[in-house]
Amino acid sequence: MTLKVWERDQGNWAVLQVSGEMDLVTSPAVRQRVHDAVAEGRRSLVLDLGEVRFCDSSGVGVLIAARRLMRSCQGRLRLILPAQGAVEGSHVNRVLAALGVRRLFEVYPDLASATAETDSLSA
């Protein structure tokens, strides 16, 4: 399976919807799209990973690098990791949890909650 990335705007947020597999070969495309969004001046970014069916350590590395990049430019990064199929949940969610890095990310179940503007400063 290949990787596809679509971009759209949702209010003040740039949304990158990712589907397929994030591995050593395909994950650089996600990294490039994040860098492109930042280069265009976007500072609020949502990565919709609900359709990612496989993610290896290179995919996780891209997510951590995206977090670092957004923090370095005082930006915001949110991930959509829906609990599809209550038994197995999102593959990316399970991988991040297994590696102990899920807590590094703001995680939301859907686009509406990920792009909602809140008055709180919680991360």
The span from the CA of 63 to the CA of 82, in Å, is 16
What pLDDT score was predicted for residue 16? 97
The span from the CA of 72 to the CA of 20, in Å, is 28
**Residue with more model confidence, 4 or 87:** 4
What three-state secondary structure class fits 12? coil
Mean pLDDT of 78-88: 68
